[in-house]
Structure 1
Amino acid sequence: MPSALEKLTAGGFSVGVELPLDNDWSPAGDPARRQAGRLPGEPDLTRHGELARLADQLGFRALWVRDVPLYDPQFGDAAQVFETFSYLGYLAGVTERILLGTAAVVLPLREPVLTLKSAATVDHLSNGRLLLGVASGDRPIEYPVFGRNFEHRGEAVRKQVALLRDAGAAELPAGIKVLPRLHKPLPLLVAGLAQQTPSWVGEHMDGWLAYPGTPEDHTRRSVLWRSVAGAKPYISFLHLDLLDDANAPLQRQRFGAAVGRNGLIGELHAMREAGAGHIGLHFRRSHRPVREVMEEIAAHVLPHFHDDARIANGQPETA
């Protein structure tokens, strides 16, 4: 049976979505947030389960969640609000096929053995769908709250990666195990460099979660990644405002673009040529309802990249 990482990059390239599936950063979304009394950066979660199930049904390859333990008004971004592993357990129960990825768990803030147990639990409950993205964290205010040392976070990452790799065998007393047992090693992906050298990351991690950028950015970054990691997957994200006009030209925005679906197809092809194996779409800047945008992408964009989407849309497998 293929691993979650093999499923992610099956066919050479795939498209997923990044939660939360709302559009609070749009001109219409921000007033709605204020009216509902939500904090800046706190998403609308009223339909989160419904939209996660829809992403699964429409054939998106992965759902990505972030790890933001504390709301900091200086950052103004609460991600998907829910605690990462608890939320992944819920998502595992309401979806069937879609992969479940973290982008990314802040390892130095977490108790290492419980992180292993949480990840193993989600992987078991989801039938092997977990993609464990990890990071060192970039919000200094969180570290004293958790009693952790910000300056030593790189060392903490290395120690926890070793523990995740051997399921705690080197740390636990003889005969002591963490259950549920992992039948396959967890796919470990790293966001950025996590305070490590490129060579360490390339040797010890299974894939790279790169920050959003243009195809030119991804070309430069993927060259570095290939030099230290060979063919291991390069993964990134795109903040998307899908315009009504299918032929609307691409307009660059911070971390992404406003574009019609035909331009989106071109942009994703360019990212694939730049070396990306997967792109997660982020919809918080969308002027249009998220459900409508997801359905349009599933009908007209995914068939260019996913064989199963071609079949679902009545197209031959060789289209």
Structure 2
Amino acid sequence: MHGALQSLVASNGAGPSIGLELPLDNDWSPARDAARRAEGDAGRPFGVSDLAQHARLAKLADRLGFRALWARDVPLYDPSFGDAAQVFEVFTYLGYLAGVTERILLGTAAVVLPLREPMLTLKSAATVDQLSNGRLLLGVASGDRPVEYPIFERDFASRGERFREQVAMVRSWASGSLPAGIELLPRPAQPLPLLVAGLAQQTPEWIGAHMDGCLAYPGTPEDHARRSAQWRAVTAPLSEGVPKPYISFIHLDLADDAHAPLERYRFGGRMGRHALVHELAALHAAGVQHVALHLRRNQRPVDETMQEIGEFVLPVFHTAQAVTA
């Protein structure tokens, strides 16, 4: 198993490993949204994050022992969709984060392969992997925003076929796609781990055979018990009986009161840290091996929330942080 995947799923057996979804911002909270609206035309549009503290918070996540940082690939800001993710180009950003962090894994969730020039995608991914000393987790997808495809002069209807072609290129490292004597450098020391968001216009059987892990949409433990069973049904273990990772996300609003019960909303909920531990354990029992926390709805300061989770939640689930080779 690739060292980054092995580190991602390592825990003490009580629950999943815990990461964070970028941006490390709480711009969707009521107070921050009200402040944004009050700024009028001079303010940021809804869905465009404030990245003023991004490097400081990424370093804090690394220091506290969060297992991974996940960055989405959103090439264009579409106001009708209302989410620009972390704004920065995903590989450039992860290359920067590789330089300011030491141990935390760096994942894409997920790169839209059919929109990209394949050779440059390979070179970008390998560059981040080498600069981070093997910490890249390459999440990939076929894309779900039709408006982007004509802008990039790509065909939306054939994105499933393009996805398969590019996955084959990653696996072969462009073998057969280059003239004799021409190489694509840098070449990863190990094959890059490929994780898929959704089905990417493929059959479950194809996904299970060709992908190393699943990036599942947020849901309840009951949702994940059903989905993870479907994933396990179409996948073989990676090695030594270790199942291919099933990964998901939670939109979290961590309450001041540590004993506050879980109040669910779409994709997550508001809860105190004790309820968070219970929810994470329930997700693990449902087959989730890694959970990334999304804090854009969080009402408390992001760094304060990260500190509390680092002090009281991560020790419940994490072994000593593994350093990838």
Please give the TM-score of this superposition, normalised by the length of structure 1: 0.95
Aligned AA for 1:20? P
Look up the match of 1:251. 263
The 2-side partners of 1:149 and 1:212 are apart by: 28
Look up the match of 2:6. 6
Identify which range, 286-295 or 171-180, moves more after superposition. Answer: 171-180
Identify which range, 31-40 or 59-68, moves more after superposition. Answer: 31-40
Displacement after TM superposition at 1:91 (Å): 0.5
Matched, 1:15 2:27: no
**C-alpha contact 1:56 1:95 (8 A) present in aligned 2:** yes
Look up the match of 1:269. 281
Matched, 1:105 2:92: no
Percent identical among aligned pairs is: 70
Unaligned runs of 5+ in 1: 310-319
The 2-side partners of 1:162 and 1:258 are apart by: 41
Please give the TM-score of this superposition, normalised by the length of structure 2: 0.93
Per-residue CA deviation, residues 247-279 of structure 1 (Å, 9 max, x unaligned), is 111000110010000000000000000000100
Look up the match of 1:215. 221
**C-alpha contact 2:142 2:200 (8 A) present in aligned 1:** yes
Displacement after TM superposition at 1:307 (Å): 1.8
The 2-side partners of 1:307 and 1:140 are apart by: 42
Displacement after TM superposition at 1:308 (Å): 2.3
Identify which range, 62-71 or 7-16, moves more after superposition. Answer: 7-16
Displacement after TM superposition at 1:170 (Å): 2.2
The 2-side partners of 1:2 and 1:195 are apart by: 26
Determine which of 151, 159, 163 is the counterpart of 2:157.
Answer: 151
Determine which of 182, 185, 188 is the counterpart of 1:176.
Answer: 182
Q: Give structure 1 regions of 4+ aligned residues with deviation exceeding 4 angstroms.
A: none
**C-alpha contact 2:2 2:190 (8 A) present in aligned 1:** no
**C-alpha contact 1:33 1:44 (8 A) present in aligned 2:** no
Look up the match of 1:240. 252
The 2-side partners of 1:103 and 1:137 are apart by: 11
Identify which range, 83-92 or 10-19, moves more after superposition. Answer: 10-19
Unaligned runs of 5+ in 2: 237-242
Q: What are the equivalent positions in structure 2 for 1:54-93 lying under 5 Å apart?
A: 54-93=60-99
Per-residue CA deviation, residues 223-256 of structure 1 (Å, 9 max, x unaligned), is 0000001310000000000001111110001100
**C-alpha contact 1:67 1:102 (8 A) present in aligned 2:** yes
Number of equivalences: 309
The 1-side partners of 2:36 and 2:93 are apart by: 22
Per-residue CA deviation, residues 74-111 of structure 1 (Å, 9 max, x unaligned), is 10000000000000110000100000000000000000
Determine which of 198, 202, 206 is the counterpart of 1:196.
Answer: 202
Aligned AA for 2:201? Q
The 1-side partners of 2:159 and 2:2 are apart by: 33
Matched, 1:160 2:163: no
